[in-house]
Amino acid sequence: MRKLGSIGAPVAGTISFYASANSLTRKFVAALFTIIAIVGMSVQGAGVASASTSTMHVVGYCATPQGDGTANGTVITVWPCTGAASQVWTYVDGEIYNPHSGKCLTAKGDANYTPGTVLTLWTCSNATSQTYGVYVNYITAVGGLMITNKGDSFARGTYLTLWTANYPPFLSQEWTIS
């Protein structure tokens, strides 16, 4: 991805904006995710994020537990990145972990193959509903579904869900962790 520029933010520091991959790369990713969806596995191994500074984000918005909650079942929402401890996430061995809560990003009701499933916090258990892959910076769940803002909305408090991958991905599906 090509860096477009940065904007200084008084609370969160610097927010960088990136251009999406070119059309040929998107077509390749689309084909790869289609294969992943058919086979029902995730692609892993894009590196391990730093526990102290990583966020799961898209264009200045971060994945944030609703009300900065830490309990099992807390819904994950879209919120402007503020640098809050609840917005810190790590990606290790296929799991996306929230150190503030001590819990993992989990498809509600273990419905990781169902489009529209809301993402929540839950005690880490190595379940398939907690398994994600990162490929070309996009996060995908087992079965090829992508993390997506509900209704493609960027309104504060919008739930994060799993949804069928669009190719090229909509901006609301370009979630990355770094």
Residues 51-65: pLDDT tens digits? 446 999 999 999 999
Query: Which parts of the chain register pLDDT below 70?
Result: 1-53, 136
> What is the predicted pLDDT for the residue at 134?
80
Main-chain phi, psi angles of 41, to 5 degrees:
-135, 165
pTM of the predicted protein model: 0.71
> What is the predicted pLDDT for the residue at 142?
74
Phi-psi sector, 37: left (phi>0), alpha (psi -120 to 50), beta: alpha
What is the assigned CATH class of domain 3-177? mainly beta
